[in-house]
Structure 1
Amino acid sequence: MRKNSIKNTRINGEVQKELSKIIREEIKDPRIHPMTSVMAVEVAPDLKTCKAFISVLGNEEAKQSTIKGLKNAEGYIRRELARTLNLRNTPEIRFILDESIEYGVNMSKLIDDVMMKDAKTSQPDQEEKSGDGREE
């Protein structure tokens, strides 16, 4: 099975859906932040390993404790995946903290700040032009 094949894409989607369901509904570890989401899953073509990209809405301490809690519950999560998914092999899961959403929000905020500053500096020029062009 190739990495970008339709079968691999379908398996990635199923593993992501089941993994997010397990994290949301079945794990009761207090270290895992309630606002945790599975952003993407990459299952290796041989179904032996899996990278799960996790996003946590919270401070740095909440992110680190969530990753520790997920790594601690890895055996349980893998067992539940094996029970719910009908795969030849159940992949070994590696949880990776995904900060792309936070990075995107930060970049968007910086762009908005620059646009606001640009709008404030160009406003007085427009008022002067509109005031000079009138004749009564």
Structure 2
Amino acid sequence: MSKRVKRVCELIHRELGQIVQKEIDFHGVFVSIQGVDITPDLKQCHVFIGVIGSPRDEAKVLEIFEKKRRLLQSRLSKRVVLRYTPILHFKIDHSIERGVQTLNALQAVDELPTAPLEDAEDEEKGEQEK
């Protein structure tokens, strides 16, 4: 990915996040723009959305984004000046859920009982004497 495409991605990510925060109400569901990926010709833009909630909430949020696509593209065209305003495609990003699951698994491993060190050292001495 070229430097220009990366800069455009970062700019769209930042501006779209601000637009979504001001323009759209998700009725108590936490929604964030996780990332943006744009094609090299800058005409198509994939927006990855993080949703904390149930699968039903994810479907509702995706539906809201699809309904508000024209509004978002219009607002984005006023904030980000490009020859063509990219067409926005929305996708749910499950990386937040995977991260929470990973942290929970690590925490569960930390809470597992461990063998006392003294017993382990005694066993090693006994094996060496044999």
TM-score category (smaller protein): 0.7 to 0.9
Aligned equivalent of 2:85:
90
Once the two structures are overlaid, the 10-residue window that deviates more, 96-105 or 21-30, is 21-30
Q: What is the alpha-carbon distance in structure 1 between the residues aligned to residue 66 and residue 120 of structure 2?
A: 63
Give the SS at the match of 2:40: coil
Aligned equivalent of 1:121:
114
Q: What is the alpha-carbon distance in structure 2 between the residues aligned to residue 28 and residue 105 of structure 1?
A: 25
Q: Structure 1 vs Structure 2: percent identity of aligned residues?
A: 27
Instruction: Compute the TM-score of the two structures, normalised by the length of structure 1.
Output: 0.81
1:5 to 2, 7, 19: 2
Deviations 1:81-109 (A, max 9, x none): 11111101001111010011210110121
Supply the AA of the counterpart residue of 1:88.
Answer: R
Q: Which runs of 4+ in 1 moved over 2 A?
A: 27-30, 125-130
Q: What is the alpha-carbon distance in structure 2 between the residues aligned to residue 23 and residue 129 of structure 1?
A: 57
Aligned equivalent of 1:45:
40
Q: Cα distance, 1:10 vs. partner?
A: 0.4
CA-based RMSD: 1.9
Instruction: Compute the TM-score of the two structures, normalised by the length of structure 2.
Output: 0.84
Q: Cα distance, 1:126 vs. partner?
A: 3.6
- Point out where structure 1 has 5 or more consecutive residues left out of the alignment: 131-136
